[in-house]
């Protein structure tokens, strides 16, 4: 695995060390987990912004609702009633 040096503020380094000590994991693992958590947060924020923009456009939102209605019919395909399909 490749590695690199990252400059951190002293307060961030202290928090990182404390988290690593509490979890029993290396600081690099704690940092990787923090970055992954932030990446996921950014994805959710972008999705929320996209839905907010969609809702702000009345015609686009009506189209979205029509599409959802069309997909709702897929719930009546009786797949849940078939034990073989659940395996």
pLDDT per position as a tens digit, 37-66: 999 999 999 999 999 999 999 999 999 999
Residues 6+ apart with CB under 8 A from 19: 30
pTM for the whole structure = 0.71
Task: State which H helix or E strand residue 84 sits in.
Answer: helix 83-86
Task: Supply the pLDDT for residue 71.
Answer: 87
Task: Supply the pLDDT for residue 74.
Answer: 72
Task: Supply the pLDDT for residue 77.
Answer: 62
Angle, vertex CA 18, rays to CA 38 and CA 4, nearest 5 = 60
Task: Supply the pLDDT for residue 39.
Answer: 98
Give the dihedral sign, CA 43/49/52/57: negative
CB distance 18 to 12 below 8 Å: no
């Amino acid at each position: 695995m490749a590695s690199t040096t990252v400059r951190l503020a002293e307060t961030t380094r202290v928090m990182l060390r404390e988290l690593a000590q509490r979890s029993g994991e290396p600081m690099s693992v704690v940092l990787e987990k923090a970055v992954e958590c932030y990446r996921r947060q950014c994805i959710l924020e972008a999705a929320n912004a996209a839905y907010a923009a969609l809702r702000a456009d009345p015609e686009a939102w009506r189209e979205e609702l029509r599409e959802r209605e069309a997909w709702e019919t897929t719930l009546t395909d009786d797949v849940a009633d078939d034990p073989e399909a659940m395996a």
